[in-house]
Amino acid sequence: MCREKQMSNSKIVPINKKNKIYIKVSGKKLILLLIVLLILFSLLIVRIGYIQFIQGAWLKEREYKQSTSNTVISAKRGTIYDANGKALAISAAVDTVSVNPEYINVKKDGVIDKEETTKLKEKMAKAFADIFELDYDEVYNKLTSDKSVETIVSKVEADKVNVLQEWLKDNDATAGVNIDEDTKRYYPYDNLASNLLGFCGTSNQGLDGIELSYDSILKGTNGKLTTAISVTQDAIPDQNQQYIAPEDGSNIYLTIDSNIQSIVEKYLKQAVEENNCARGGNAIIMNPTNGEILAMATYPDYNLNDPYTPNQTIIDGWDGLSTQEQTDRLYTMWRNRAVLDNYEPGSTFKVITASIALEENIVETDTRGDFYCSGVQQVSGINIKCANQNGHGSQSLRNALENSCNPALIQLGQKIGANTFFKYLDAFGFFNKTGIDLPSEGESSFWGESSVGPVELATMSFGQRFTITPMQLVKAVCAIANNGVMVTPHVVKEIENPETGTIKTIETNQEKQVISSATAQKMKSIMQSVVEDGGGSHAKVIGYTIGGKTGTSEPDPNHPENGFVASFLAIAPVENTKLVTLVNLYKPQGTSHYGGTITAPAVSQMLSEILPYLGIPSNGENSEDTNKLISVPDVQNKTLAEAQRIIKEAGLDYSYVGNSDEIVSEQVPKAGTQLVSAGVVKLYTRGNEERVSQTVPDLKGVSLAQAKIMLKAKNLNISSKGTGIVIAQDPIAGTSVDEGTIINVTLQEEITQGQH
């Protein structure tokens, strides 16, 4: 009975009907089996739902990436031109080579052969390393990387890419290798205006200078090409493609004139090297009427095409520096010091103090006895000395600036008072940035007005114990030169859309009238006297009226290691001024540190070339050098004997290499060059063209007659301007030049007072 009951709770399942074999399955086991199946089915449903709704978008994107190729089409960065349309920064077409490591493999019967794949990647690594001059191990690590994409080399020229393409084709190894179009920034003139232009990074983004401040305008917008691809990363023909064209960046035309920039850089470099300026120098030339910067230079500079290579001023101990220390030095090398750095302006600031006093009718220009200098001025028990320890005696305002007399300016500052002084400091823009269109502009540092006592007011009146940027001083003095009207400085003149050809012109921004036109004219007259009769005489330019002010700021007591700053500030011409020039030399360690002695000659050299170049008419004065100029005859392709006769008949001398019956193949100087009487022409004959060079002697401090003798002894020629002793020469002493080269010298009557 019990057995029958037990049998009634089980089922007999036939498993082999023919032999009548049965298996009994209990009801509980069947229920358990159904529950397990239900759980598994539920988990499957959950998994499907997770894949569909949670991972769906990600999987779809992954599938899209695996089946499509998205190629970035780089926009062409806009060209930077100078004011004359000369390209200073251009973008050229290059290529970037990358790989997809997972698609670089060798398959046999549809299965990846690991050994053969390794051999292929080793072979490819060697090819990449050889073609692009890369490290083999680094390339191999990229080829065996787990990343989906690895960049092998960026911005390479077409010739190397062509070699790679031939190798890939010959070795049937194109799968997984991508060659994408890109652009690379070039600077045709290397170091020219380097600290002003700045440079670009590897992604063509502006990192400094104009490249940075106008990056959004220059860079444009990249395009894209989307293409269907196979599992081997080859494009599938006849598939839909999506092409988004790139929008090239706009072109920029600067106010900078590359010819003027070259002149300024040449003489700034010369002044820094001649005077052993440990901290270099900078220069600015601005048109005061429209705010255009015609030149802006910092020296030492650097090569824009290789901006991460240290120049000679920062390379000392380079390999022993940490990465951060190297970066800090590079930032120092890149700095546009004319805009970023501040300094104590010294006596150049006296033109601001004098302008305030004239505008407030505190003083007139030529009232004798307004000031008295005994050689020292006592302020609150502190003796402040004049550079002339014997004193200047009774002086007018004009005399005080001609002599650059500190006691007189202290007395003037006391008459002005701190409240009025600060009002005009604000009006002249010294408490604000200039607004120039360059990045990271520096700021001034003054005492708070409430902190200014008698001593602070005294030192402030002659330009010490506060700091400003060179650009701030130039902007303020441009207001004086522009009849009292201040304008905003700028370096970009026009912006051109390359697609439409439309041009946006940067208009002159007149900010405000700082001082009256009458005051400005008085101040310009005083500045002219400083050059013609005072300590700025080394800045004279024959045929032009030049106004100026010397400056020599003493070392800051808090930073004595910075040394002196020798400056000269100039306006030219005085009437209808077109140029305001400032040159600063930092920590000069030569025979002098006075601005009137070492900086004024550099300004004279610059303006002597720039003013005629700009077509600014001279006042009709002739050169003070009365020596007759003789045009060098053309004697090339004549026998040496005949050439000697022609040169002698012209009133010149000669030096030669060769025999009298040989043919002249070259002459130095070239035909048509103007030489003084008895100048030397160097002759070379065919087969004897190896140049004979000489080292330029140091002519500073000697008379014109002595300079001629010294140069003639080396078969070198001379061109001079002015009278007195030599104060500047080009090329500088120690330069190696060909015999026959003309050495330009500037002479000036020796002046010992008022040059600071």
pLDDT over threshold 90, residue 756: no
State the DSSP string of 677-701.
Answer: TT-EEEEEETT-----EEEPP--TT
- Which pLDDT band, with edges at 50, 70 and 90, does 626 fall under? very low
In a domain? residue 269:
no
Strands of 418-487 (E only): list them. 485-487
Q: Within 16-77, where are the H helices?
A: 27-49, 56-67
The last residue of a domain, from among 589, 613, 637: 613
Alpha carbon 649 to its chain centroid, in Å, reads 50
Residue 197 shares a structural domain with residue 135: yes
Strands of 43-142 (E only): list them. 68-73, 80-81, 87-99, 107-108, 111-112
Residue 569 shares a structural domain with residue 652: no
pLDDT computed for residue 173 by the predictor: 87
In a domain? residue 756:
no
Separation of alpha carbons 222 and 233, rounded Å? 23
Structure pTM? Answer: 0.77
Question: Which residues are within 8 A (CB) of 739 and not within 5 positions of it... i.e. 6 or more apart?
Answer: 655, 668, 680, 682, 691, 692, 693, 694, 714, 715, 716
Residue showing tokens 């050229």: 92
Residue 226 shares a structural domain with residue 250: yes
Q: What's the domain range around 653?
A: 629-748
In a domain? residue 670:
yes
In a domain? residue 448:
yes
pLDDT tens-place string over residues 297-326: 999 999 999 999 999 889 999 999 999 999
Q: Which H or E element spans position 401? A: helix 397-403
Residue 370 shares a structural domain with residue 519: yes
What's 518's domain CATH number? 3.40.710.10
Residue 516, amino acid: S
Number of compact structural domains in the chain = 4
Separation of alpha carbons 285 and 264, rounded Å? 9
What's 237's domain CATH number? 3.90.1310.10
| Residues 228/235, Cβ–Cβ less than 8 Å | yes
pLDDT computed for residue 607 by the predictor: 96
**Three-state DSSP state, 243:** strand
Mean pLDDT of the chain: 89
What's 682's domain CATH number? 3.30.10.20
The last residue of a domain, from among 204, 227, 254: 254
pLDDT computed for residue 46 by the predictor: 82
DSSP state of 54: I
The last residue of a domain, from among 613, 638, 661: 613
pLDDT over threshold 90, residue 9: no
In a domain? residue 328:
no
Residue 508 shares a structural domain with residue 457: yes
Strands of 229-292 (E only): list them. 242-244, 251-254, 281-286
Residue 548 shares a structural domain with residue 680: no
pLDDT computed for residue 180 by the predictor: 81
pLDDT over threshold 60, residue 632: yes
Residue 692 shares a structural domain with residue 609: no
In a domain? residue 61:
no
pLDDT tens-place string over residues 80-96: 999 999 999 999 888 88
- Which pLDDT band, with edges at 50, 70 and 90, does 109 fall under? confident
- Which pLDDT band, with edges at 50, 70 and 90, does 227 fall under? low
Residue 434 shares a structural domain with residue 568: yes
Residue 27 shares a structural domain with residue 106: no
Q: How far apart are the first and last CA of the chain?
A: 133
In a domain? residue 355:
yes
pLDDT tens-place string over residues 465-520: 999 999 999 999 999 999 999 999 999 999 999 988 899 999 999 999 999 999 99
Residue showing tokens 């690895």: 150
Residue 361 shares a structural domain with residue 389: yes
pLDDT tens-place string over residues 341-383: 999 999 999 999 999 999 999 999 999 999 999 999 999 999 9
Cis peptide before 489 (omega within 30 of 0): no
Q: Which of 75, 74, 78 is nearest to 497 (CA)?
A: 78
In a domain? residue 79:
yes
Residue 110 shares a structural domain with residue 193: yes
Residue 554 shares a structural domain with residue 588: yes
